[in-house]
Structure 1
Amino acid sequence: MVNLPGWRHLPSAKTLAVIILLAGIGLIASVISLLYLSQHLIGIKAERDRPPPLGAFG
């Protein structure tokens, strides 16, 4: 018979709360970094595709 872990071996509610909190912080940080990177790439593309100013040579 397989010895299944009982309820005494499960992590406590405090440990689960800390894990969920850290996962939430990581999720928020990743979303913010993705927004920053996409904004940065959009800015670079807009700057590259902008027509040259009037009177510019080259």
Structure 2
Amino acid sequence: MREQTYHIYLDSRQKTTLLHSLVELKNQLIQQGRYADCVDELIFKVANAPVKKLRIEYV
């Protein structure tokens, strides 16, 4: 069975907030002496995610 994938659409402000939160989490994990490799991968994915333009129609 295939792994389920999720997509999230963020504007620039939300993307910036997400990146700051992930960096804070990484710093906390490092201070606790825990591995932060998975958070590094998420930071890399979010920072290098392609931009997809969407048109939103309000009804």
Specify if TM > 0.5. Answer: no
Q: Which has the larger share of helix?
A: 1
Q: Point out the structure with max Rg over C-alpha.
A: 1
Q: Which has the higher contact order (CA 8 A, sep 6+)?
A: 2
Give the TM interval when normalised to the shorter protein: 0.3 to 0.5
